[in-house]
Amino acid sequence: MRRLTILVGFALLLLSSCSPRDFLNRRLAADLIASSDPFKAPQKFLLGTGVVSNTHYLSPERSVLQRHGWISSSTASCPSGVTPSPCWNIVLTPSGVDAVRSIISADDAQKSPIPIPAARRELVEVTGISKQGNAADVEFTWKWVPLNEIGEAICPTGVNFKSSVSFRQYDDGWRVMQDSPQPGQTLDGAFKNAVPAP
């Protein structure tokens, strides 16, 4: 009986010295990705108004906003240095002003282009972990969730994206790589290189 008590005590001592962050599994990886600043940062759409080049005018987002009646445009003379022509004068319509005013701060309303928070990321699942020593690559799927009616109009909903990010084990446990001093992909890089998931 004494031997069993010693073994149980030794096992408890070992377990108490381990942190939940010491063992990289899918649940920990999902928690660390979802709680990271890059993952939580909202997707901002930059709404340019005033005279813009034909390249900006032909963007798919501008077309969507115009179809919803939030902006209107007319041809305009191109200012010096703005190419290619023709140029377009883009203005918010009264319904566009109402839509934008309800979702941006007064300070952001004075900026040009206007930064509009459109969507946030939602983690769907961690699909795989490949570990090598104190480094790991984690594959995961995520999707956009619109934050407002403008986000609903311009963000691809119903599409999951597949990304991969590097993790590294430190003395206090595993961490998502926020910058990349060695080969591997950061979380920002993972979002920039995301591809639609099958």
Long-range contact pairs involving 101-108 (C-beta distance under 8 Å, separation at least 24): 102/148, 103/147, 103/148, 103/150
Q: What is the mean pLDDT of residues 125-131?
A: 96
74/87 Cα distance (integer angstroms)? 9
Classify strands 50-52 and 71-76 as parallel, antiparallel or unpaired. unpaired
Helix (H, G, I), strand (E, B) or coil at 112: coil
Query: Are the CB atoms for 139 and 163 separated by under 8 Å?
Result: yes
Q: What is the residue whose two structure tokens read 């119903």?
A: 158
CA dist 30 → 20, 38, 71, 125, 183 (Å): 13, 14, 39, 7, 22
- The dihedral of CA 151, 155, 159, 165: what is its sign? negative
Please, what's the largest Cα pairwise distance for the chain? 93
Indicate the range of 13-27, 101-115, 149-163 predicted with least confidence. 13-27
CA atoms within 13 A on the CB side of 158: 3
Confidence at residue 182, expressed as pLDDT on a 0 to 100 scale: 47
- The token pair at 33 is 């990705």
The per-residue pLDDT for range 146-196, each reduced to its tens digit, is 999 999 999 877 899 999 999 999 999 999 987 654 456 777 777 777 878
